[in-house]
Amino acid sequence: MNLLVGPAGSGKTTRLLGVALAAARAGKRVWWVGLPSQRAYVYTCATHQGAVLGLEFLSSQQVYYRLLAAALKLKPLLVGTGRIALVGEALKMLSGELPAPGEARLFTRAVAEAKRFGLAPQHLPVTDGEGGRLRDVFRTYEQLKGERWDYDDFRREAFLLASRDGVKPEADLVIVDGFREVGPLEQGLYEALSRQTELWLSLPETPPGLTATETLVDRKSSRTVVYRAANPVSEARWVLRALKRDLAGGADPLSLAVILPEREVRAFAVLADEYGVPLMDETPRALTDAPGGRLLLDLLELPDYPTPSRLLAIPELAPLANVALRRNLAGREALSLLAREVGLARPLSNWLGRLETPQDELAWARELLDSLPELTKRPPERGWERLKEHALERAKEAAHIAKGAQFRAWWGALLQETAIFEQPKGGVALLTPTLASGRRFRRAYLLRALEGAYSAGEHEDYFVPEEARREPSMVSERFGLPKRFLGRDALLLAELRTRADEVIVTYPEADQGGPRVPEPALTGGAEPLTELPAGSLLEAGKRTRFALTLAPVARAQANVRQLARFERCAFRFWAERFTERETLPWRELTRELRALKRLNGARLETLRTAFPDAAPWLSEVEATLLPLTFGYSLSADEGGPYASLDAVGRSGDEYRVYTFVEPEGVASTADAKTLVEQTGRLHELWAAAELLAQGAACVHLYVWPVLGSPVVVYEGGVRVTTRTMRSRQAQAARIYARFITGDASPKPGFSCRECGVFDLCRAGTR
């Protein structure tokens, strides 16, 4: 085996590309083994001078599959989520209780580490009770797994096959490049393969038991510039301006890269939209990162953890979610009380009941998945069928060990563990340190160069303490769990400084938590951020204070009910005509009634079908509804204001005027009278006065809560125009006189807190 050793940036990949291309030109078949994220980079470098035949890029897992498939020794694959489910089943068998998904994940990772280093259950060191539990879980897991193989089984079986039978790969040359280290099983496999075919392995350091065939030295080919920023936001904005400058100067987007800690990637991608910088986000995605997967997870978590954001997943409950967000409410009891207040108690109860898992978990899961496109009222997203297939597989795994509410929790956890692979759009590569490994660019921006931000993740193990682990040399000879603390951070940091011909390192001096310490290995000789041209519309041009300017708005006639809203704030009244306002179900029903004008048996049946929650109520009050006229328009004089009444009934010269309100909106005559006579409410008393003026002998006013019974406002009705009615007429005339001028001036006050168009006006800030 040819072992090529050299630090990051020493030219190992360039050297091996020369070997690979020479072999390909000679008609040989070449396997290039690396991380999946390196595939496009290797092919780009290999084909820089033209087409290449015979070079194939493989991941390590693909190598195992190829060797075992050639020997006809493949077994059914157990995917990662299946491993978690089986470990959960093993824990359940041993303790008699179903574990939480997080506990199963902890044991799964420990089992995977043991298998990665070739250990069987009986070989695990046991220092305490938890170590003993791990051994028992590992043994039970292997029994439950049966004939299936997980990913680590493929590695072990490929190693045993190559060591025992001397299997010859299909390739004439195997090159393994782009790894910081290889485990003992991989090392043994490559040594065995090298006895059958030519093989090159490149590493930054010589592993135990091997001798370097060729050693390279650091070429110092990377130029590093370090800048310090005041805070993370100014740092990110400066980098985006720099990227836009590079692209405007003609730089190839594929020659640029941005490297960030994984937890920072999403925030940077969102900010990049403001600058119009095309990013190629290569970070891995879980099934729940897709819109359909996120919606499914919200529904699964809703019964146990009701929050406004999860309610937004259900369009029918979006009005409730918006009110809950404004009031900062969460929790089942609080949201149930709020739902009764806004008239959505029944839809909320129906959904919570629907999301309680029945006895047949798989049938319930299929039904829920089938309803998602209909729920969103949008066409299924691209790849929906594939997503649905993955989700059903996870449901089968969860149903094998969990029932009821525990099934929902396990299904949601397995969905979050399911990776989906999508080809990102072309642009500037947005990478984590792992995704940047083994690749090189013309220019790379390395952000958040703070102490601890970039780490190999060395930490104490929960099951096997450091003192029970072995030195790397012992692991390579007899297998075993290696020590966790081997200073791997230094290798990672050295690699990050060589990911491009020019590496621009930035770090914030402070964030919301206070001053931050830069990483010494990355940030020597930092300079303040340089001045760069503006990169977005928000940064361009002269900054001026916002000033609202509106031309007069003309309207010939106005609804008296609208005049009340106009009086509260003219700007809000006009602006809300161009915005979507949340509509509660009871308002939808009353709007439909006003549109129908009159009812008959067929129309009532249509309403019952369209509004199933209100169907019992419509049947109960059918006799009262049939004689009424809905959406009754009443005008005082031509060109003046008019009243659009919810419902009106007439018996001779007596009128019955009904106003619909939210369910449980009023409970008594006193409540109804308080509502009608409150300051700023015009249309009921204005309409009563106009009806009396037009010859009515008596006007009976009713407030009718939807799903309830009408409540009379004045016992015996109104037979003469009262002073309160005359004041409403005068108030309506005064407001209407201002209304027809087109006035749109804002009226700031406490109502600005709940105003949906506040960002257009902002008068309330003054």
Question: What fold, for 560-753?
Answer: Lambda Exonuclease; Chain A (3.90.320)
- Helices H, strands E: what count in the chain? 31, 22
Supply the mean pLDDT for the chain: 88
The answer for residues whose C-beta is within 8 angstroms of residue 295's C-beta and 6 or more apart is 313, 372, 375, 376
Q: Two tokens at 330?
A: 């969460």
Mean pLDDT of 634-654: 83
- Return the axis-axis angle of helices 151-165 and 101-116, rounded to nearest 10°: 10
pLDDT tens per residue, range 283-317? 888 888 888 888 899 999 998 888 988 998 888 88
SS (H, E, C) 507-527: EECEECCEECCECCCCCCCCE
**Cα–Cα distance for residue pair 26/22, rounded to 1 Å:** 6
Give the SS3 label for residue 612: helix
Instruction: Name the H helices within 56-150.
Output: 60-70, 80-95, 101-116, 129-145
Whether 715 has a pLDDT exceeding 90, the answer reads: no
Mean pLDDT of 491-503: 94
For the ranges 177-191, 560-574, 705-719, the one whose mean pLDDT is highest: 177-191
**Cα–Cα distance for residue pair 67/154, rounded to 1 Å:** 10
CATH superfamily entry for domain 223-282+425-528:
P-loop containing nucleotide triphosphate hydrolases (3.40.50.300)
**Cα–Cα distance for residue pair 347/300, rounded to 1 Å:** 17
Residue listed under structure tokens 């991608």: 269
Burial of 572 (C-beta count, 10 Å sphere; 0-12/13-18/19+): buried
Mean pLDDT of 114-121: 92
For the ranges 540-544, 561-565, 714-718, the one whose mean pLDDT is highest: 714-718
Whether 374 has a pLDDT exceeding 60, the answer reads: yes
Whether 638 has a pLDDT exceeding 70, the answer reads: no
Q: Two tokens at 341?
A: 């207040």
pLDDT tens per residue, range 252-285? 999 999 999 999 999 999 999 889 899 999 988 8
Whether 603 has a pLDDT exceeding 60, the answer reads: yes
The answer for residues whose C-beta is within 8 angstroms of residue 544's C-beta and 6 or more apart is none
Beta bridge partners of 703: 659, 711
pLDDT band at 541 (very low <50, low <70, confident <90, very high): low
Lowest mean pLDDT among 2-16, 253-267, 498-512, 680-694: 680-694
CB 323 within 8 A of CB 427: no
Task: Give the whole-number percent of the chain exceeding pLDDT 90.
Answer: 47
Give the SS3 label for residue 333: helix
Mean pLDDT of 120-140: 92
**How is 265-291 classified by DSSP, letter by letter?**
HHHHHHHHHHHT--EEE-S-EEGGGSH
Whether 447 has a pLDDT exceeding 90, the answer reads: yes
Question: What fold, for 2-75+153-215?
Answer: Rossmann fold (3.40.50)
Give pLDDT, residue 378: 62
- pTM of the predicted protein model: 0.73
Q: Two tokens at 12?
A: 């190992």
SS (H, E, C) 410-445: HHHHHHHCCEECCCCCCCEEEECHHHHCCCCEEEEE
Mean pLDDT of 208-231: 91
Give pLDDT, residue 440: 94
Tell me, what DSSP letter sits at residue 684?
A: H
Q: Two tokens at 572?
A: 């809000």
The answer for residues whose C-beta is within 8 angstroms of residue 523's C-beta and 6 or more apart is 226, 228, 449, 505, 507
Task: Give the whole-number percent of the chain exceeding pLDDT 70.
Answer: 95
